[in-house]
Amino acid sequence: MRIDLDGLTRFCQQHSISCRTGTPMREYTTFRVGGNAAFSALPSSAEELNLLVRELRRIKADPVWFIGRGSNLLVSDNGLDGVVVFTWGLSELKRDGQLLIADAGVGMNALCRMAQSEGMTGLEFAYGIPGTVGGGVFMNAGAYGGEVRDVIEWAEYLDESGEVCRLAKEKLELSYRRSIFSAHPGWCILRAAFRLENGNKQLIGDKMTELMARRREKQPLEFASAGSTFKRPEGAFAGSLIEQCGLKGTRVGNAQVSEKHAGFIVNLGGATCAEINELIEKVQQTVQQQTGYWLEPEVRRLGD
C-alpha cells in the first residue's frame, strides 16, 4: 500500500477520529494472533465513518478492512499492509415497534440482553456469540438452531463511494456463514434491524442462561480462539470427524486442536498464524484421508 500515512493521520486528527499506525492485530483478535496493521482508525459514529471512507477512497487506500471484534479472524504474522477500520465505535441501539435497530459495532450479547429486557423473543440463539452485529450479519452467524437470517429485517451499509444503502432481508443473500457482504469487502455494514416477537422476559432470560451454560460446558472458552475453525460439512460435524480421526490434542507449536472440543483450534499462548495454518492443513489432510470429507475453514484469513 502506497499512501501518505502522515496525511491520513492528520485527516483523522482534524476530524477527531481516533487512529494509529502500526496496530498490533493480536490485541484486536480473539485468537490473539497477527502482526501489525499499517494503519487503523476507530470512527465513533456513522458520520465519522462516512468521512473516513470518502477520504480513503480519495487517496486510493487499498486494501481496507472493516473489522468488528475480530472473533472470526486469523491475521497473518506479517501483519496487514493496508487500513483497518474498526467498527465497534458505532454503538447505537434502539427499539422501534417490533424492531431492534443496532449499529454495526453493538455487541451481539448487548443486542440479546436488550431484547430480553424488552420482552422480545427470537435472538436467544445468538447469546454468547462474541462478536458485533456487523460481524454477525456479514457471517450470518448462528448457533443452536438459529441464525441471523431468521430475525434480520434489513441492513444498511456504506458502499465504496460512501453512499448509504439499505437491503431488505431477501436481498442480503444470507446462507450458511455467508452474506452478500462476503462478495463485497469494500462495503461497510452500518446497522441492522431485527424483527422480534413479544415474549416472556423470564423465559427468554432462562433460555439465554441455558445456552450460555452449554457453551461454557462444551467450548474451550479458557483459551484464545476464533470459535469453530471449520464449517460444518454437508451431512457431518467437523468436530466429530476431527475427533474420530484421533486429532484431539494435536499440536503445532502452541496451536492445538482443543482437547475439550475438537472443532476448535486454540492458542495455548503465543501461537503464531503460521502454526495455526499448519495445524489447519494437517487436520484437513488427515480428515480427508480417513473420512473423505474436506473441511473448509470458517475463520477468515487476513493478510498474506
Catalytic residues: 177, 228, 298
Q: Select 121 or 258, whichever has its Cβ closest to ligand FAD.
A: 258
Smallest CA-to-CA distance from 301 within 270, 271, 280 is with 280
Q: Is the backbone peptide bond immediately before 63 cis, with ω within 30 degrees of 0?
A: yes
Quick one: which of 11, 138, 154, 293 contacts ligand FAD (CB under 6 A)?
138
CA distances from 247 to 43, 240, 243, 252, 260 (A): 42, 10, 6, 12, 12
Greatest alpha-carbon pair distance for the chain in Å reads 58
276: left (phi over 0), alpha (psi -120 to 50) or beta: alpha
Quick one: which of 226, 245, 266, 283 contacts ligand FAD (CB under 6 A)?
226
Quick one: which of 5, 93, 143, 236 contacts ligand FAD (CB under 6 A)?
143
Range in contact with ligand FAD (rule: CB under 6 A) among 11-19, 113-121, 218-226, 285-293? 218-226
Q: Select 4 or 304, whichever has its Cβ closest to ligand FAD.
A: 304
Smallest CA-to-CA distance from 146 within 132, 125, 129 is with 125
Quick one: which of 68, 89, 263, 297 contacts ligand FAD (CB under 6 A)?
68
Written as nine digits, the cell of 50 is 462516512
Quick one: which of 23, 36, 121, 219 contacts ligand FAD (CB under 6 A)?
219
Per-residue binding letters, 27-46, with ligand FAD (x by CB under 6 A) = ---x----------------
Q: Does 239 bind ligand FAD (CB under 6 A)?
A: no
**Sign for the pseudo-dihedral over CA of 182, 183, 185, 191:** negative
Distance CA(266)–CA(109), nearest Å, equals: 22
Quick one: which of 11, 65, 223, 293 contacts ligand FAD (CB under 6 A)?
65
Tell me the closest approach of the beta carbon of residue 300 to ligand FAD, in angstroms.
4
Residue linked to cell 496496530? 23
Tell me the closest approach of the beta carbon of residue 133 to ligand FAD, in angstroms.
8
Residue linked to cell 480417513? 290
Distance CA(87)–CA(129), nearest Å, equals: 17
Tell me the closest approach of the beta carbon of residue 198 to ligand FAD, in angstroms.
25
Q: Does 131 bind ligand FAD (CB under 6 A)?
A: yes
Identity of the residue numbered 258 = S
The footprint of ligand FAD (CB under 6 A) covers 30, 65-73, 87, 104, 129-132, 134-136, 138-139, 141-143, 181, 188-189, 219, 221, 225-227, 300
